[in-house]
Amino acid sequence: MLDVTQAKLKPAKIAIVGGGIAGASVALYLSELGLDITLLEKGPSLVNGPPICHLHAGGNLYREISEQQCLTLLAQSIDLLRLYPYAADYRPTVVAVPKHDKGTPEQLLPRLKTLQTEYERLINLDPLNKVLGESQDYFQLFDRTELECLALQEPLDKPQTLAQWMIPVAKNADLDKLQFPLIMVHEFGLNMFRLGASAALSLEANTCCQVLTNSTVTRISPALPGSGWLVDYQQAGLNKQGEFDYLINAAGFRSGLIDDLLGFKRPRLVEFKAAYVSRWTECDCIWPEVVFHGERGTPQGMAQFTPYPGGYFQLHGMTEDITLFKQGLAASTEQSAQPKLAEVFLNKIDQSWTEPEIIKRTNRAIAHLSAYIPSFSSAQIGAKPLFGAQQIPGGDPTLRAADVSFVGDNYARCETVKASSVLTAADVILQKLISTGLVDKKTKALRSFPVSERVSEQVITLRAEALTKEREFPLSFAHINSTKP
């Protein structure tokens, strides 16, 4: 452990490996506290890993997870919205249970009521937590008669009420295939280009943080026994080295490679998954997100319809022909903390997809959604897929709310499964830094971020537009349909 008197003389030097949403957000949090942060990211920009499109503010997409995970995701999502208010698309989500499904909408209601009560409690604790609207509006039920009335109305450019948001669904969904009521819940969209832009701009504005992009960590060794780390990295073909008091591994699905460099064991899973981008030019109205529940891994797996501006829709279908892949889930072994994904998936991540694969899987995704929204069958391929490998610490593939683990006094792993968990992860790391004497014990967990708050929405939009160009996605992906109320 570092000598406490020594620590008081200069702020602890902390290296974070990986500039995805986890590493970038922990860097933002710790640099707002004035700590000396170096963020090392292999790629050219931040938050460029697997997609992030949904704010799981209650975990209502997942029937299989525990109520406790849903409550955790709710609280964490509220925190994330407070950190990145301009990265969310403030439109609700419809949850529909098809008639062929074994579940019923009624089974979902007790959990929704618990979440509503918890949201109210969080607002009472701190009024600034009211980021999902009024607690009594957290969710609303719609029966068939109401939907048939809404189907007669024209969709609005700026829907205000949940009923107005429901009009496109009422007009276009095949109601004969669905059980009632339909549920509309305040789970918003998350835009990864705007998340990347918000994080990068905040970090650039903070003199305590050095962001090193195009920098791959290749070797880590102890500086002196128990006192810190020497981190070797390659930047633009040059070998460089930095010395740090503390190391945070936020390398996403490659966190196991960093553990392997240090000889640390860790059970974990990684799962390769993909979402597809369609363009529906006939559609000229603003949609909520729509989720049709289904049994994961079967041909009727959950279908998720995520709107972007410009008639673009991101599609998930939880079948092995669409979002999931045969052998797409890999586990770590006794020999290595890094699960070995098959070469075919690593090639997709590091290089690209073939054109026939993109066409085949995107068309299947369009067909999967058209079963519930028949007019959507006229949609076309809109862009390349959004995909990647998601890390899951431990051995339970249904785990959704995860954050940090530690080895000794100067190494943390930040392994979030969902973007919303990043502030919890930062809180836990802060507590560890306090307990090891690297940070003053009077330091409090942060929920306001003065440097970040000075970055304007317009500047975030411009940077997000630049990221869509750099990554070859439609410009509309930098924009949102519905702004913060």
Interacting residues with ligand FAD (CB under 6 A) = 17-23, 40-43, 48-54, 56, 190, 216-217, 250-254, 273-275, 387-388, 390, 416-420
CB-nearer residue toward ligand FAD: 135 or 323: 323
Sequence-separated (6 or more) residues with CB below 8 Å from residue 404:
412, 413, 414, 415, 425, 428, 429, 432
E strand map for 175-320: 182-185, 189-190, 209-212, 215-222, 229-235, 238-244, 246-249, 268-279, 289-292, 303-307, 312-317
Q: To the nearest whole angstrom, how small is the minimum distance from the Cβ of residue 301 to ligand FAD?
A: 13
The string of DSSP codes covering 412-457 is EEE--SSGGGHHHHHHHHHHHHHHTTSS-TTPPPPS--HHHHTS-H
Amino acid letter, 27: A
CA-closest candidate to residue 415, choices 16, 53, 23? 23
Peptide bond into 11 cis (omega under 30): no
What backbone phi and psi angles, to 5 degrees, belong to 167?
Answer: -55, -50
- For residue 207, the one-letter residue type is T
Closest CA to 147 of 128, 129, 168: 168
Q: For ligand FAD, which is the closer residue by CB, 252 or 311?
A: 252
d(CA 418, CA 430): 20
Nearer to ligand FAD, 7 or 78 (CB): 78
Give me the residue whose beta carbon is nearest to ligand FAD.
20
The answer to whether the CB of 457 falls within 8 A of the CB of 86 is: yes
CA dihedral 306, 307, 311, 315 (to 10 degrees): -10
